[in-house]
Amino acid sequence: MRHQNRLQEILTKYGIVFVLIVMIVAMSMIKPSFRTLNNILNILTQCSVYGILALGMTVVIVSKGIDLSVGSILALCAVIAASLGQSNTASTKYFVNMSELPIIVPILAGLLVGALCGAVNGGLIAFTGIPAFIATLGMMTICRGFAYIYTSGKPVSTLIPSFEFIGQGRLLGIPMPVVVYLIMIIITKILLNNTRFGKRTFAVGGNINAAEVSGVNVKKILLWVYTYMGLCAGVAAIVSTGRMVSAQPGLASGYELTAIASTTIGGTSQSGGIGTVWGAVVGALVLSVMRNGMTILGIQSYLQQIVEGVVIIVAVILDMRKNARKA
Amino acid sequence: MEKVKDLLQMVNIEKNFPGVKALKGVNLNVGYGEVHALVGENGAGKSTLMKCLIGLYPVTSGEILFDGKTIDHYSTAQALTMGISMIHQELSPVLYRPIMENLWLGREPLNRFGFVDHQEMYNKSLKVLQEIELDEDPRTLMVNLTVAKMQMVEIAKAISYDAKLIIMDEPSSALTEHEEQQLFKIIRKLKSKGTSIIYISHRLAEIFEIADRVTVFRDGKNVGTEFIDQLTMDQIITMMIGRTMDEMYPKIPCQIGETILEVKNLSHKKYFRNISFEVKKGEIFGIAGLVGAGRTEVIETIFGMRPKISGEVRINGKLVEIKNPMDGIANKMGFLTEDRRATGIFAVLGVDSNIAIPNYDQFLSKIGLVDDKAVTIGCNEYVEKIQIKTPSLNQAIQNLSGGNQQKVLMARWLMTGPDILFLDEPTRGIDVGAKAEIYKLITMLAGEGKCIVMVSSELPEILGMSDRIMVMHEGKMTGLLENSPDLTQDTIMRYATGTQDDF
């Protein structure tokens, strides 16, 4: 009886990890090509962009918020970074008379724009009191619009080689996007679990009124939560731009939903105060393995979308049952 | 004792949850037209038994006879149609819909086209509202009603179902004294018509006022059923906790030092005006008054949760400007709020986070990160010191009993090292045993030289714990009294109702 309970507890707690392992084992047995190191690195690379978004989204959702604007912020950051990172050989240059800049300039520009957009979100939510859903919905179209105006709707391409390195290079054999993803995982993990900011974010998400009475500066926390989300979008933008060696304003449309899905599959609760960074990573991996596996199996991409939707819903149902059992 | 024919007989009810025996063979008989009180500490099984009765949980074994028939395996909806209604402690009305739609929710009267017949609904609503003498237009939105009136709407709903048995779970917890009397009036009226009431309450005084019989629960069993006039309050308490309570209020006189907190002519735009008092080191300062007198608002304003319009606050003689709780905490204040769930606990977070939230500054490592080990050590110290019963520090606080939740919140504030502690209804909704422990803790803190400001609606608590008492009436202070054995509840009530006013 006791052992059974213990097993059940482990299963509910780490259920999604088991799902991931089962998926990997099953795929490895069906298709040996799945097992290759290259494919594994490929899976990791593919999830790095929305995986990074999911990290920021975890912080946001833990604070009982939501951010619908991250895909658009990503696109805006990407086109701005790309425009500052074009090579002299580019046929259409955004800044016609500008010589090549060191890679740090487009990177910082991308991160700064991301953080600023995030701060606008956070400011709106903290100081006007409008719901996060509405504030970020507005910012979603605003940032997308700016991305189109900035580029006149055209892609920005032919970037300097060091930009390409970020997207396609390797460090000690590991693709750079994965390296960046790993770094962001560690940063977010520390931020959420080991800083006062992180602890207070859980408190704000858990009970905003109690947080206020306990002397938490709720407005400041919310401002930083969304700023960090924006920063993550900036990082994801740099990775994404590097991978494609170009950026276009329609980029990453719908990525906010993939990020929310990853976070949610990983067990972060929309009701706030509950969530883990590793959950966001596992969630992103589940989606990536599933997409990769279904593609290898030759499953039609429209059908893939349906399967993905079902997985998201089932994951949340299981998660709600887990939380209901606790109460 | 005459043999009464019973409306409800619950015989040898057992209810097991995985790993827990919540009910271990409970018997409960409720007669026709009887007001039957259930008392017992939290977790004693009252709520579980009621949830079995209204069809929310199936019983594991045992028999339920209602109105002469054996009933089992029924849903809450079936229980309603059989005549069993429950008025829950936490009301959950559809706030932005009218009273009448709330009354007939799920069984709206329809016209011949199958659409909702609003006229018919209005007429029927008016009838039941008149029956309980609630003078409100059925088209009034629920959100515009006071809690007391919402509760009356719930009672009206029960009547509209022709309820033979109405279960009231802590109905008075949100009511003012006056509203409580109104509630009792309705209960008496229902009773005279033969409706039976099961009345669950922590407040023993009101049980003596309204109940015919009382059943005491302890550890999942009924330990006794008696006619109320054959029991004393002490006997009930002894039955509830299984031991005699030597002293409920362990107030011991302690060294009273210099003045710490001074409040002068403090006024709020809406809730109170010209409040002046001072509290000394080691003193317990009680604030009494009826609900709505502005007591909570006074201390919330001092702590920075509300803006003042005039007046000043001094700490140790120094003028302070406190604009928000952060300032309050910086000035060594702590504040235990009245509504534990709304403004106290972080329900889904662990006991450790709940204690540590205002205190992380104490637990930073050299590089500025939170040192979780230090947090654990720090929290454990308080868990032991004030005997918080929790399986572990990372247990979500929502899984603890009300009394233990309250202790966790006390630990939170004690860890901030406050000089001034505001306690707003510190024992609301917690059982007698836990109450006594909280009182002991408060006494100990006063002994350590903290200055304590306690708002309470329970007069025995005010009289049992305070050194001095401020009484408020409609936003104004009416009395500032030295506590003494001669001071009675009646005297305080005279000030609280504004009959007597020293200012």
What's the rounded mean pLDDT across residues B387-392? 89
- b/e string for B31-51 if b means 16 or more Cβ within 10 A? bbbbbbbbbbbbbbbbbbbbb
Residue A5 pLDDT grade (very low, low, confident, very high; cuts 50, 70, 90): low
CATH of A2-326, one of 1.10.3470, 1.20.144, 3.40.50, 1.25.40: 1.10.3470
Residue B19: which pLDDT band, with cuts at 50, 70 and 90? low
Identify the residue with better confidence: B151 or A78.
A78
Which of B336, B346, B402 has the alpha carbon at shortest distance from B170?
B402
Report the range of poorest mean pLDDT among A42-51, B405-414, B454-463.
Answer: B454-463
Instruction: Establish if A210 touches chain B: CB-CB under 8 angstroms.
Output: yes
Nearest by CB: A213 against B325, B348, B360:
B325
DSSP secondary structure code for residue B242 in this structure: S
Nearest to A219 by CA among A85, A122, A326, A103: A122
Contact B399 A210 (CB under 8 A): no
Angle of the A218-244 helix axis to the A37-62 helix axis, nearest 10: 160
Whether residue B294 contacts residue B268, with contact meaning beta carbons closer than 8 Å, is answered with yes
Q: What is the spatial order of strands in the sheet that B275-280 belongs to? A: B275-280, B259-267, B310-315, B318-320
- B346 CB neighbours in chain A (<8 A) are 202-203, 206-207, 210-211, 273
* Confidence band for B3, pLDDT divided at 50, 70 and 90: very low
**Rounded-to-10 torsion of CA B90, B93, B96, B100:** -150
Among candidates A199, A212, A272 on the partner chain, residue whose Cβ is nearest the Cβ of B360: A199
Q: Which DSSP symbol is given to A157?
A: E
Gap between the Cα atoms of A321 and A276, Å rounded? 18
Closest CA to A23 of A260, A287, A261, A262: A287
Residues 6+ apart with CB under 8 A from A294: A303, A304, A307
Describe the crossing of helices A218-244 and A70-84 by its angle, rounded to 10 degrees. Answer: 50
- Measured between beta carbons, the chain A residues lying within 8 angstroms of B358 are 214-216
Residue of chain B with shortest Cα separation from A203:
B346
* Phi and psi at residue A266, to the nearest 5°: -75, 5
Say which of A195, A206, A216 has its CB closest to residue B348. A206
Is A104 touching B (CB cutoff 8 A)? no
Distance, in Å, from the CA atom of B219 to the CA atom of B472, rounded to the nearest integer, reads 40
The answer to whether the CB of B478 falls within 8 A of the CB of B500 is yes
Q: Would the pLDDT of B124 be above 60?
A: yes
Task: Indicate yes or no: CB of B370 within 8 angstroms of CB of A194.
Answer: yes
Q: Strand B284-289 vs strand B468-473: parallel, antiparallel, or unpaired?
A: parallel
Domains and CATH numbers, chain B: 6-241 (3.40.50.300), 257-332+418-429+447-503 (3.40.50.300), 340-414 (no CATH)
pLDDT for B248 equals 67
Domain boundaries, given as residue ranges, for chain A: 2-326
Of B19, B346, B370, the CB nearest to A207: B346
SS3 B12: strand
Name the percent of chain B lying above pLDDT 90. 55
> Please, what is the end-to-end C-alpha distance for chain B in angstroms?
54
Question: What is the rounded end-to-end Cα distance, in angstroms, of chain A?
Answer: 21
SS3 content of chain A, % helix, strand, coil (to 5): 75, 5, 20
Q: Would an 8 Å CB–CB cutoff place B1 in contact with chain A?
A: no
Q: Which helix (H) or strand (E) holds A100?
A: none
Chain segment A114-160, per-residue pLDDT in tens: 999 999 999 999 999 899 999 999 999 999 999 999 999 999 988 89
Residue A3: which pLDDT band, with cuts at 50, 70 and 90? low
Residue B262's alpha-carbon distances to A81, B279, B287, B320, in angstroms, are 59, 7, 15, 10
Q: Answer whether residue A326 shows pLDDT above 50.
A: no
- For the stretch A304-325, pLDDT in tens is 889 888 988 887 787 777 665 4
Q: Average pLDDT in the B269-292 region?
A: 92
Amino acid letter, residue B340: R
How many CB atoms are closer than 10 A to CB B312? 14
Average pLDDT along chain A: 90
Report the C-alpha gap between B106 and B6 in whole angstroms.
31
Whether residues B343 and A327 touch (CB distance < 8 A) is answered with no
Where does residue B73 rank: exposed (0-12), middle (13-18), buried (19+ CB within 10 A)? exposed
Query: How many CB atoms within 10 Å of residue A62?
Result: 26
Residues A61/A192, Cβ–Cβ less than 8 Å: no
For B27-67, give the DSSP string: EEEEETT-EEEEEE-TTSSHHHHHHHHTTSS--SEEEEEET
Interface check B17 vs A, CB under 8 A: no
- Chain B residues touching residue A207 (CB < 8 angstroms): 342-347
CA distance A27 to chain B (A): 37
B252-271 pLDDT tens trace: 777 888 999 999 999 999 99
B204, burial (CB in 10 Å: exposed 0-12, middle 13-18, buried 19+):
buried
- Tens of pLDDT, residue by residue over A230-255, are 999 999 999 999 999 999 999 999 99
Confidence of residue B227 (pLDDT cuts 50, 70, 90): very high
Q: How far is A327 from chain B (nearest CA, A)?
A: 7
pLDDT reported for residue A327: 40
Residue B22 DSSP SS3: strand
Q: How far apart are CA A25 and CA A34, in angstroms?
A: 10
Tell me the pairing of strands B259-267 and B275-280.
antiparallel
Residue B103 · residue B156 · CB < 8 Å? yes
Q: Is the pLDDT of residue A203 over 90?
A: yes
**Max CA pair span of chain A:** 75
Q: Which residues fall within 8 angstroms of residue B285, CB to CB, at 6 or more apart?
A: B277, B279, B451, B452, B453, B454, B466, B467, B468, B469, B470
